[in-house]
Chain A
Amino acid sequence: ETGVTQSPTHLIKTRGQQVTLRCSSQSGHNTVSWYQQALGQGPQFIFQYYREEENGRGNFPPRFSGLQFPNYSSELNVNALELDDSALYLCASSKSPRTGGETQYFGPGTRLLVL
């Protein structure tokens, strides 16, 4: 069984640029959730994708957007990067949210630094 994978592991960008982070879900999972973890904090929910549609969104601005593909992998896009976007971005996969998908399994994260 393949776990959740994320790429890249580290990324450095400058303010105003755009970034795309990628996530492959665990085998048997069709739901992907994205979280932002600032240094010294717990993860904060950005949004979730189920069946290629957004299934919930946290308190993040529209410049945070996402996609889910037919193979259930997902992308997180952030436009117009700000210094405060520097964080660890975690992807989590789970089964269908309404039937046994309450437990989310996390990938190793992407560390983003915005200069």
Chain B
Amino acid sequence: AQTVTQSQPEMSVQEAETVTLSCTYDTSESDYYLFWYKQPPSRQMILVIRQEAYKQQNATENRFSVNFQKAAKSFSLKISDSQLGDAAMYFCAYRSASRDDKIIFGKGTRLHILP
């Protein structure tokens, strides 16, 4: 069974600085999708970025980028120029390309932005 592990329950970063959130996963599959979702206090789970495993190029979305290391089964999220609105729970998630139903989530990392 696939698992997703986020080893940092909480992190803090100074406003305007850069922070990296870690995620590792375990799977025997070769084709899959990885995601980072953000959940602010409003509870709405918002998609931040996604990566297809067959793509070697790391995904980027404005200030958000990932470091996808397929062999190491690592998928970290880098947030540049951190803003107060980035404060939230961040969840790393996995979806098989062959099993077309569920997304598997990690336990999350709570990110604090210090003014």
The reply to whether chain A is a binding partner of chain B is yes
Interface residues of A (CB under 8 A from B): 33, 40-45, 48, 55-56, 58, 88, 90, 92, 97-98, 101-109, 111
Q: Are A56 and B43 in contact (CB under 8 A)?
A: no
Identify which of B37, B45, B95 contacts A102 (C-beta below 8 A).
Answer: B95
With an 8 Å Cβ cutoff, the count of chain B residues facing the other chain is 25
Q: Are B103 and A108 in contact (CB under 8 A)?
A: no
B107 at interface by CB-CB < 8 Å:
yes
Distance in angstroms from B96 CB to nearest chain A CB is 9
Q: Are B100 and A58 in contact (CB under 8 A)?
A: no
Report how far A102 CA is from B91 CA in the complex, Å: 16
Q: Are B91 and A42 in contact (CB under 8 A)?
A: yes
Task: Give A41's nearest chain B residue, CB to CB.
Answer: B107
Chain B residues lying within 8 Å of A111, measured Cβ to Cβ, are: 43
Q: Are A43 and B44 in contact (CB under 8 A)?
A: no
